[in-house]
Amino acid sequence: MWRAKEKNDKIQLSFKYKIYPTREVEEKLLRAMQIEAKVYNALLDVVNNARKEGKTITPKDTQNMLKDLKIEGKDLVYSKVLQMVNNQLWYNISSLHELKKKGKKVGKLRYKKILKIINYNQSGFKVEGDKLILSKIGEIRVLFHRPLEGEVKGVIIKKSVTGWYAIFQVEVEKKPLEKTGKVVGIDLGVEKLVTTSDGVVIENPKVFDKVERRIKILQQSLSTKKKGSRNYEKVREKLAKLHEHVKDLMSDYIHKVTSWLVENYGGIYVEDLGVKEMVEDSESKTLRKHILHSNFSKFMSYLSYKAERAGRRVVKVDPRNTSKTCAKCGYVKKDLTLADRIFSCPKCGWAVDRDYNASLNILHAGSGLPLEPVDRRPLLHIPFSEGVYSKFPGRSRKSPSRGGDAPSVRAG
Ligand SMILES: [Zn+2]
């Protein structure tokens, strides 16, 4: 009992930081990733062969084979890291299996030239000041742009076009926030990121329009270049950097918005996104939509862990008809399309912003509170701007502190 409780007071998070390996260390990292791939391929062979012969083979079996595996340079990689390679292989095997079960056409698992991550789980790493020390690799400087909290359980090293990163997996204590007695329904959208049942609209960053135009131009330019040529690679790199920039920007933004929600509301009602996407799937998908959709799940994951940590409740609500129902009288307007930005009720005559209407229905569906919308007042628009950090209602405008009030964490 004691143990279970102890566990319940903690929550797992990830913190991502940029790291700066020296050239020498970078070479070691890359070499480790290549050796990982060799181990991965060898184990994949073992699994394939066993299956060909009709033998059962388990993750434990392949893990036990690791120490006798003859791979050049194997001892240059920390042994537990190789265990994680084994885990990754089996994870890939089961993902493939899941896809097959769903009727998707899938090929075989491929051999790898390099693995993209090095996973130190439980041991083989140490943090000293701004240095990360990895067994068999050495010291790497970390840019701790936000403080690292909690007890570090593992570190994943990752390479991307914009450089090297360390993702720290930590366990932190829950920090219950004071009760607010307030509940809210929120509508997530492509037009506006969030519309709340309190009438607050949180816009999507305008910066997307600009970025989308640039991405399109780069994509066009890419299509005219010869694949594999130097110019092609140059444009491809620019494109990847731009995508990563958008991702970072959006992550930051979502952190602010979800922190604000968790600080202000004890119960937060949201649509169940899996279902929502199905509902909206028939609509054409622009790049903008694609980017935003991919952010809904990020939004949910940030919101969930922050709420869990703060002792708040997040409840998922069936999204069907949340847009089509009149929040005032309950009439269901079947012919409402996504293009209709105003919900106007043919039965009771209520006319209101469609997303606001939806947020009221979400609150109603989740909380069971009576169908009685707040007085119609102008929606409070919160635009995305450079000053986004301090412009949220109910937050102090003086100190856009980094860290401090909100758990400043990057997850995933
Ligand atoms: Zn109505």
pLDDT, tens digit, for every residue of 145-200? 878 888 999 999 999 888 999 999 999 888 899 998 899 999 988 778 899 998 88
| 50 and 82 both lie in a single domain | yes
Quote the ligand 1 centre to 327 CA distance (angstroms). 7
Environment of ion ligand 1 (residues, CB < 5 A): 326, 328-329, 331, 345, 347-348, 350
pLDDT cut 90: percent of the chain above it: 50
Per-residue model confidence (pLDDT) at position 396: 33
- 208 near 246, Cβ under 8 Å? yes
Quote the ligand 1 centre to 329 CA distance (angstroms). 4
Give the other-Cβ count within 10 Å of 155's Cβ. Answer: 24
Euclidean distance between CA atoms 319 and 317, whole angstroms = 6
Quote the ligand 1 centre to 231 CA distance (angstroms). 58
Per-residue model confidence (pLDDT) at position 199: 86
Please report whether residue 218 resides in a domain: no
| 139 and 187 both lie in a single domain | no
Q: Find the mean pLDDT for residues 345-353.
A: 91
Quote the ligand 1 centre to 355 CA distance (angstroms). 15
Comparing 37-41, 244-248, 268-272, 326-330, the range with the smallest average pLDDT is 244-248
CA 156 to the chain's CA centroid: 16
Q: Is the pLDDT of residue 64 over 90?
A: yes
| 152 and 272 both lie in a single domain | no
| 168 and 266 both lie in a single domain | no
Per-residue model confidence (pLDDT) at position 358: 93
- 218 near 235, Cβ under 8 Å? yes
Beta bridge partners of 155: 120, 168
Quote the ligand 1 centre to 373 CA distance (angstroms). 11
Per-residue model confidence (pLDDT) at position 102: 87
- The domain in which residue 151 lies consists of 11-173
Quote the ligand 1 centre to 371 CA distance (angstroms). 11
Quote the ligand 1 centre to 271 CA distance (angstroms). 21
Give the 3-state secondary structure of residue 15: strand
Residues 6 or more apart whose CB falls under 8 angstroms from that of 33 comprise 114, 115, 116, 117, 118, 159
Quote the ligand 1 centre to 191 CA distance (angstroms). 23
Comparing C-alpha atoms, which of 178, 152, 181, 182 is closest to residue 167? 152
Please report whether residue 238 resides in a domain: no
Please report whether residue 32 resides in a domain: yes
Please report whether residue 369 resides in a domain: yes
Q: At how many degrees (to 10) do helices 287-310 and 273-280 cross?
A: 170
| 109 and 137 both lie in a single domain | yes
Per-residue model confidence (pLDDT) at position 1: 31
Please report whether residue 407 resides in a domain: no
Quote the ligand 1 centre to 375 CA distance (angstroms). 14
Please report whether residue 312 resides in a domain: yes
Q: Is the pLDDT of residue 29 over 70?
A: yes
Total number of domains constituting the chain: 2
Six-digit token string for 156: 């994943």
Comparing 48-57, 304-313, 374-383, the range with the smallest average pLDDT is 374-383
| 92 and 199 both lie in a single domain | no
pLDDT category at 281 given cuts 50, 70, 90 is very low
Q: Find the mean pLDDT for residues 390-405.
A: 36
Q: Is the pLDDT of residue 392 over 60?
A: no
Quote the ligand 1 centre to 358 CA distance (angstroms). 13
Quote the ligand 1 centre to 367 CA distance (angstroms). 20
| 187 and 114 both lie in a single domain | no
Quote the ligand 1 centre to 360 CA distance (angstroms). 13
Kindly list the distances between the CA atom of residue 198 and the CA atoms of 172, 194, 265, 376, in Å, as whole numbers in the listed order: 32, 11, 11, 10
| 33 and 115 both lie in a single domain | yes
Residues 6 or more apart whose CB falls under 8 angstroms from that of 140 comprise 19, 20, 21, 25, 131, 132, 133, 134, 164, 166
Please report whether residue 296 resides in a domain: yes
Per-residue exposure over 90-121, b if at least 16 CB sit within 10 Å of its own CB, e if not? beeeeeeeeeeeeeeeeeebeebeebebbbbb
Give the residue from 149, 173, 197 where a domain finishes.
173
